[in-house]
Structure 1
């Protein structure tokens, strides 16, 4: 029993070392994206009806470091500013399915091929979903009234609150601090769950145990049933997906989970229904499901027809050992930051509104 525990803890430590530097880098870059891309810029390019706004919404949403919860008020804010239903739907898919932080961790835990496939698949999924809403939805150009009680957290901004202008450096510092504190706290739970699960599978499950089902539709559909109701962010889903790969599940089935998990949960679907209608909600769900299954099938065909393989240990030993250890220690300190008695920071949860 002691040997098994040591084996498991060793796997946890090794996976943490692999992921930590890339997660830290991704958080920093993601924070810079969030703070330096003006909200007015997003609104200006997403309010025009038609296919162009759908594509722009997908491209602009991809690098933003927002989780499934945090993207809801952001998307509804765009909707209230005049963004069309197709553009809002595209933004809702692209933003939580990928981000610079999740791409970094994907590279660390699943190698460069999946780090490329994942954002490309997210872009395709977002555009297709937006086009379905454009072609078959009942979009109306006028904005909709906000319902703060349906959001995961409500933004309470008063018109008399005038914020002083910030310099580029101040915005960048604020964005990085947001990413290392609030954003990190919002994804921490699923990061921990994912790494613990990945270590469990790596330590005790034979790598060929699930290979007999690895390429079947059954596994892909199972990944849909697991991912759709699950609240998991793009970064937090990565170690879970890596654990599926370790167990022998095909890359296509893993991609289904990576696409369906972050973009769908009961909160997101409920807000879409309340703010954009039931038809939009069903088209949104249909777009994600159809793209996830078809892209998963294409990924399996791609890997079966080439000599390319996915390594779940790709990034280990690329960086110096002290960088990996230091990154783990920094992330541990940041995880404990809310519990420090000397300084209790105001948190914004997953959506950005301050809580006392």
Structure 2
């Protein structure tokens, strides 16, 4: 009996790992696209524009975010790094949530597939329903999620150079500074931000979500939907329960909805699946909780659930009112990305995630305090007034100023990064310039030594 139990456990573990890997393969190309887009937005988009359209105003920012998200071809996981990047550049929570819902629920590619596999009415109604859901969730977050004044006070414009921190962006505004670096330098900075800082932000929640989704995939029978989804309001509720935790993108969910309609599921129930499935999954929910915290996660899920059912009921009424039969074309959409490319991308993403964990563990063991943005290790920038764009305040320099590096007689600390390796170089005799640098640059503190 013990051997059988161990065998069953081993089999379950193997199926769990396979399920997680399959999900990672599906997600990886779109996640990488999302990381890259987050980097592009960070490097090439002026922070003032993010604040202007997505950071200010309880209402208009939500509408702008929904309009911006509708045509973008990003899935629920691919949109996560993009949202994290927008949020760190000043987009308020309501606008971020609106963008996070509108983008995966529909897109230029999924609209085309919907037209190909379903009828024109569904093709029009789907993006409209996605826009409505995104706006409702965003407005609810801005008015109920947390006080809007508190949200605006936390917005800090990061005008410093996002490529190599060569200037603070004040004496050299972004409009002029962007011409200082080559396109290749900007692209490298884009990759560093998207696949570095943003990945570090969400890697923990992403891995947790993939693990949960993998467990769900091996526990829920494949025949579940076919057995119980026979049309009606209860089908919408089941579609909601099934669609929320599972990972499926807007494009790949369309042929499933078409097949369900052919089997007798109402178009409204199919719409619920098309809205809830792409917008949510276990990975997305865990990341939403990490980015926005508990109340916002509840608003996110409840808004999608309520709006999806309301839109589904309305769609059934429209079909019945116009006496239109929910037609669909047989066949499924082919894979847009070849499997071998997706697998290679998954391996790359897995390596990056492992590297992110290793880096965080090393920093923790080394006693490095900070968010990992890189500025907290710079004594000139690690201050309460720091606004490097990482979204975290740096209350004190992380690199301690050694006492031996501060005794030239002027009373000011020297940067340990510029102190010579000579252990006797901590003091000077006030004669000439010893080459030590002081924290309070530029200028002189009066000791006669250069800063």
Q: Give the TM-score of the pair, scaled to structure 2.
A: 0.50
Alignment partner of 1:136 is 2:136: no
SS in 2 for 1:277: helix
Match of 1:114 among 113, 122, 142: 122
Of 64, 79, 99, which residue of structure 1 is paired with 2:72? 64
Q: 1:65 to 1:297 in 2, by over 3 A?
A: same
Q: How far does residue 312 in structure 1 lie from its aligned partner after superposition?
A: 1.1
Segments ≥4 residues shifted beyond 3 Å: 34-44, 142-145, 157-163, 334-339, 344-350
1:159: Cα distance to partner?
A: 3.5
Q: Distance in 1 between matches of 2:305 and 2:345?
A: 39
Q: Does residue 310 in structure 1 map to residue 326 in structure 2?
A: yes
In 2, Cα distance between the equivalents of 1:82 and 1:55?
Answer: 16
Question: Per the alignment, do residues 100 and 43 of structure 1 end up closer, same or farther by CA in structure 2, a change over 3 Å counting?
Answer: farther
Q: 1:97 aligns to what? A: 105
Structure-2 separation of matches of 1:126 and 1:159 = 36
The structure 2 residue matched to 1:255, chosen from 271, 289, 299, is: 271
8 Å CA contact retained: 1:58, 1:90? yes
- How many angstroms apart in 2 are the aligned matches of 1:159 and 1:111? 51
| Counterpart contact for 1:79–1:143, Cα < 8 Å | no
Number of equivalenced pairs: 260
Structure 1: stretches of 5+ with no match in the other structure: 1-26, 146-156, 171-199, 317-326
Query: Cα–Cα, structure 1 residues 43 and 230, in superposed 2: closer, same or farther, change >3 Å?
Result: farther
**Contact 1:43 1:78 survives alignment (8 Å):** no
Question: Equivalent residue for 1:127?
Answer: 135
Q: 1:287 aligns with which of 303, 306, 313?
A: 303
Q: What is the CA–CA distance in structure 1 between the aligned matches of 2:240 and 2:327, rounded to whole Å? A: 24
1:83 to 84, 88, 91: 91
Deviates more, 1:259-268 or 1:286-295: 259-268
List aligned pairs for 1:33-72, cutoff 5 A.
39-40=45-46, 44-72=52-80
Select 1:274's aligned residue among 290, 297, 304: 290
Report the alpha carbon displacement of residue 44 of structure 1 after superposing the two structures with TM. Answer: 4.2
Match of 2:248 among 214, 232, 249: 232
Greater RCO (CA < 8 Å, at least 6 residues apart): 1
Deviation at 1:158, TM superposition (A): 6.5
Q: Find the counterpart in structure 1 of residue 174 from structure 2.
A: none
CA contact (8 A) 1:79 1:88 kept: yes
Q: CA RMSD in A?
A: 4.1
Contact 2:258 2:329 in 1 (8 A): no
User: What residue is the counterpart of 1:164 in the other structure?
Assistant: 182
Deviation, 1:43, is 5.7
- 1:323-334 correspondence runs (5 A): 334=338
In the TM superposition, residue 250 of structure 1 has moved relative to its aligned partner by: 0.2
- Structure 2 distance, partners of 1:253, 1:345, is 34
Q: 1:241 matched to which residue of 2?
A: 257
2: CA distance between counterparts of 1:263 and 1:96? 5
1:220 to 236, 240, 248: 236
The TM-score with structure 1 as length reference comes to: 0.62
8 Å contact 1:79–1:144 — kept in the other structure? Answer: no
| Deviation of the 1:307 alpha carbon | 2.5
Q: Equivalent residue of 2:300, what SS?
A: helix
Distance 2:295 2:315 in 1: 30
Structure 1: distance between partners of 2:251 and 2:306: 22
Q: What is the alpha-carbon distance in structure 1 between the residues aligned to residue 317 and residue 349 of structure 2?
A: 41
Gaps of 5+ in 2: 1-29, 157-161, 167-179, 188-221, 356-451
Contact persistence 1:62–1:98 (CA under 8 A): yes
Partner of 1:7: none
Distance 1:230 1:163 in 2: 43
Structure 1 partner of 2:316: 300
